[in-house]
């Protein structure tokens, strides 16, 4: 059996070494790709957590001013019982930014009859226009309804609608439930 010449042996040896090197390179590249995929997966998970934290912080900032707008209310009877009762609603802007477009609704059909600046002693100051265009930071306003029978007043609880300084529209009901209103498509 002829083993061949030296050149054939040397060529075959180099070919075997090259094939081994190719296999080692392929395995090394597969390992690197697997490591890179694992790293990308970890980075994606970290970025998702960071996005969730940023979203939560943005939501907190969005709700921060709205939570500082407060509303208190009470029914005021008339001296003459036949005149009925009215709602008196105090709106307080405890935030450091103005609130815009304030409207107090009674039930679903009635708007506030009057709005006045609230004086430091809790009284009524200057009369303002309904709806109230702007309530500055740290300012308060009194909204009053027209006079109704006690039944109508009971069935027409007040709710406040306003826009915060970032343009988000809110509703605050007489039970203290604060909700963001959907954007008006006509606006």
Percent over 70 (pLDDT), the chain? 94
pTM: 0.71
Query: Mean pLDDT lowest for which of 2-16, 84-98, 101-115?
Result: 2-16
3-state helix, strand, coil in the chain (%, to 5): 35, 35, 30
The CA-based angle 107-176-133, given to 5 degrees, is 65
For the cut 70, the answer to whether the pLDDT of residue 176 exceeds it is yes
Mean pLDDT on 84-90: 93
CATH of the domain at 171: 2.60.40
In a domain, 187, yes or no: no
Give the number of domains in the chain: 2
Confidence of residue 1 (pLDDT cuts 50, 70, 90): very low
55 and 90 together in one domain = no
81 and 167 together in one domain = yes
For the cut 70, the answer to whether the pLDDT of residue 187 exceeds it is no
pLDDT at position 61 is 86
C-alpha to C-alpha distance for 90 and 48, rounded to whole angstroms: 43
94 and 150 together in one domain = yes
In a domain, 87, yes or no: yes
For the cut 80, the answer to whether the pLDDT of residue 79 exceeds it is no
C-alpha to C-alpha distance for 183 and 105, rounded to whole angstroms: 19
Closest CA to 85 of 170, 152, 139: 152
pLDDT tens digit sequence for 111-161: 999 999 999 887 889 999 989 999 999 999 999 999 998 899 999 999 999
Q: Report the length, in residues, of the chain.
A: 187
Confidence of residue 19 (pLDDT cuts 50, 70, 90): very high
Residue 51 main-chain phi, psi, to 5 deg: -60, -40
C-alpha to C-alpha distance for 172 and 179, rounded to whole angstroms: 7
For the cut 70, the answer to whether the pLDDT of residue 38 exceeds it is yes
Q: Whole-number mean pLDDT of the chain?
A: 90
Q: Are 137 and 69 in contact (CB under 8 A)?
A: no
pLDDT at position 165 is 93
79 and 154 together in one domain = yes
pLDDT at position 122 is 79
Is 30 exposed, middle or buried, given 0-12, 13-18 or 19+ CB atoms closer than 10 A?
Answer: exposed
pLDDT at position 4 is 67
Q: Of 120 and 68, which is predicted with more confidence?
A: 68
Task: Print the domain residue range for 35.
Answer: 1-67
For the cut 80, the answer to whether the pLDDT of residue 184 exceeds it is no
In a domain, 22, yes or no: yes
103 and 128 together in one domain = yes
Terminal Cα-to-Cα distance of the chain (whole angstroms): 95
- Helices and strands, counts by H and E, the chain: 2, 11
């Amino acid at each position: 059996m002829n083993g061949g010449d030296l050149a054939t042996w040397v060529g075959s040896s180099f070919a075997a070494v090259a094939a081994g090197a190719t296999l080692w390179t392929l395995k090394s590249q597969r390992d690197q790709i697997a490591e890179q995929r694992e790293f990308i997966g970890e980075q994606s998970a970290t970025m998702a957590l960071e996005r969730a934290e940023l979203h939560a912080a943005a939501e907190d900032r969005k709700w921060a001013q709205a939570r500082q707008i407060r509303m208190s209310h009470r029914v005021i009877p008339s001296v003459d019982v036949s005149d009925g009762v009215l709602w008196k609603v105090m709106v307080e802007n405890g935030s450091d930014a103005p609130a815009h477009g304030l409207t107090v609704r009674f039930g679903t059909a009635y708007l506030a009859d009057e709005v006045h600046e609230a004086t430091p002693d809790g009284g009524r100051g200057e009369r303002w226009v309904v709806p109230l265009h702007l309530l500055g930071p740290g300012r308060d306003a009194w909204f009053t309804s027209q006079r109704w029978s006690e039944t109508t007043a009971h069935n027409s609880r007040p709710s406040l609608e306003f826009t915060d300084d970032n343009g988000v529209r809110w509703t605050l009901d007489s039970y203290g439930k604060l909700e963001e209103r959907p954007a008006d498509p006509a606006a």
